[in-house]
A and B are shown apart, each in its own frame.
Chain A
């Protein structure tokens, strides 16, 4: 099958006996309509939220292991914000952070976000919330799922999409580029960082 948008313009209507093509033959006058190439415009990703999937959001998780990583994270509950702690500060902040896996996820609207999921605590504690969340994230690597907190159960209910939904289109950015976008203002990298000051009751 010919792809009319990319095939070289054909030259119908030319007389094979003629020595030169007719400059006024419409077939010789076509101009390109390949706007994908000519526009040269790319959507810039400037915001990557860090959050759990919305209750009504069907989501997928990037199946490539390069698109998930464990991080020491401080949760500032009042502000509903999460901060990554740099390796140098980890020893000084033991007990202040928790370890979470950041899964790269996307919803049906094409919004990329990081889905933070708690790892079991050092003492082996593994709440059903964390466990069910991790199971959901792993399931979302192959299928569209939705999660909803079930307070009675103390865990997330996981719903799998019934219909056939196309796979998501992931942006052409690497995991670490996405991390830089998501945490550019949320990196605890010095002892006088405002987050540490707040934890220590200082202004």
Chain B
């Protein structure tokens, strides 16, 4: 048991979790392990502070703690200072390996061969609590007993896991759950009026979208995408297309995405297919206060990144839908992202000086082209745009672990061009490649890789070299994002959401500049700590009321959709 803590409290809340809403605490059960005290509080007894001690010498333990910490926020309680989340540590212990029953509390208990308390039988109560339909069906005592059973199970799990937990780094990971709770609490402001109209008319809008976009292609039959018609269109336009081993066209969204980049004529079809396939507008979780909120699913991805639901989260794959983001009157939102984050991480951690110079130039893609002697040293983006784009795609291809064939498809050039680009990368950044090879060798020799703060990827059977190489940059990018989220939310910044390598923050119009400055400072500090002094730059895009958030990638599709709305009720674009 960690001696540095005078008290260790194991906590569980039961709460309602309605789509888009903040959690609604129903009860709390906690056990303080040193004294053996137990706390069972119904929601009307929760008060203004936790019933147990708080401070840096109290260890707060909860399974998937952002849920409990969301309840803390709703209650107005101060955040715990030291948070240990056995869920995260269980994920870290098993990341990359199969588990017998997933990563839930039940799954972790099963993994350690511990009594699983018959949790399966309580599914009905769990659903009733989460959906807010427990009243009249379950008595408070039964719900408290259920909650206490979870606490007791968590205590058993904690004792089993403690010898395998690297506590200081586990607490850093736990600290992020407070930041995640803050971001989930704030949510993303949404133009609910337009959303309602979109939802009302979505079925017919889809048909009209097909009719409007498919005019160019002629591949839809009703709502059915006809593969043979698509193949004819590709042949007529001289566009090569990846095939599956079976010989059929590869119609995955990833292929459409890559091809749309190389052949812009494909972009509208990709957006249409993506919208038809993935967009379930009713799933977008928007609360009564007009904020999109969903569980961020922290640490769910192998890289340790968040993995929120694509359909519930406004920053899901349908980029055009992001124009629904609109600050409330008197407010602004700012999208702050790290510039070329993965390139910067690779440059810093590999120690490749040429790569670091390229990053610090402000335009690493053009700098790479210059370092490879493909453009003159005084070349600028305006006059060497196409060459820069090729080198940019090469950098991205290396980050994704692509080979020459995939890069050739992506840039719409013969394989030999792709092959030469990849070779130029190897020759320009040899230290990076030695480091990347070393990471792969380390993974295969030791069966694991780790980030700067100890998030691990275990190597199971049939390891994928591409994903192993990729892990170091992705995993450390996740570390950076988490640390920046901690610094920002602890500083009091209203962070609405994390988005891969960026954050959306919200502030009153008169405070937005100061908020952006503080956010950028937090992101700079986080990058400097993760990269041992190598600071990454950030860029900002501000949206002030009454404007709506703009992502140029979705502009065409948004305009199409908005133009389909007027004959219902005129939308304000």
Contact = CB atoms under 8 A, between A and B. Distances in A.
Interface of A: 1-7, 9-10, 12-13, 23-24, 26-31, 33-41, 108, 163-166, 169
Given A5-B351, A5-B532, A33-B472, A39 B445 contact: yes
B169 A166 contact: no
Nearest to A42: B441
A39 B442 contact: yes
7 contacts: A1-B356, A4-B532, A26-B453, A26-B483, A30-B453, A41-B445, A163-B374
Contacts of B103: none
Contact of B532 (A9, A28, A38): A9
With most chain A CB atoms within 10 A of its CB, the pick from B373, B434, B452 is: B452
B427 interface: yes
Nearest to B472: A33
B533 interface: yes
Nearest to A6: B351
Contacts of B525: 12
Contacts of B439: 35, 39
Nearest to A36: B438
Given A4-B532, A10-B533, A24-B171, A31 B450 contact: yes
B72 to A, nearest CB: 20
Contact of B435 (A9, A29, A35): A35
B524 to A, nearest CB: 12
Interface of B: 82, 168-169, 171-172, 348-351, 353, 356, 373-374, 423, 427-428, 430-431, 434-439, 441-442, 445, 450-454, 472, 476, 483, 525, 528-534
Contacts of B171: 24
A4 B438 contact: no
A165 B353 CA distance: 18
Contact of A30 (B353, B423, B452, B472): B452
Contacts of A28: 168
Given A26-B483, A36-B435, A36-B438, A5 B454 contact: no
Nearest to B347: A4
B453 A31 contact: yes
A104 to B, nearest CB: 20
B442 A169 contact: no
B532 A166 contact: no
A169 B168 CA distance: 42
Contacts of A37: 438
B452 A4 contact: no
B356 A12 contact: no
Those 6 A-B pairs whose CB atoms lie nearest each other, nearest first: A5-B351, A35-B438, A164-B373, A39-B441, A41-B441, A39-B438
A35 B438 CA distance: 5
A27 B169 CA distance: 11
A41 B453 contact: no
A192 B165 CA distance: 68
B461 to A, nearest CB: 21
A5 B350 contact: yes
A41 B349 CA distance: 19
Nearest to A109: B423
A4 B349 contact: yes
Contact of A23 (B168, B441, B530, B533): B168
Contacts of A108: 423
Given A1-B356, A108-B423, A166-B428, A35 B529 contact: no
B295 to A, nearest CB: 25
With most chain B CB atoms within 10 A of its CB, the pick from A1, A2, A12, A29 is: A29
A24 B373 contact: no
With most chain A CB atoms within 10 A of its CB, the pick from B168, B374, B528 is: B168
Given A5-B350, A39-B445, A30 B532 contact: yes
Contacts of A165: 373, 427
Nearest to A10: B533
B528 A12 contact: yes
B423 A4 contact: no
B172 A26 contact: yes
Contacts of A5: 348-351, 435, 532
Given A10-B533, A12-B528, A38 B430 contact: no
Given A36-B351, A36-B431, 5 more contacts: A34-B435, A36-B438, A38-B442, A39-B438, A41-B445
Contacts of B445: 39-41
A155 B277 CA distance: 64
Given A5-B350, A10-B532, A31 B172 contact: no
A2 B351 CA distance: 10
Nearest to A3: B351
Contact of B454 (A2, A31, A40): A31
Contacts of A10: 532-533
Contact of B534 (A4, A23, A31, A36): A4
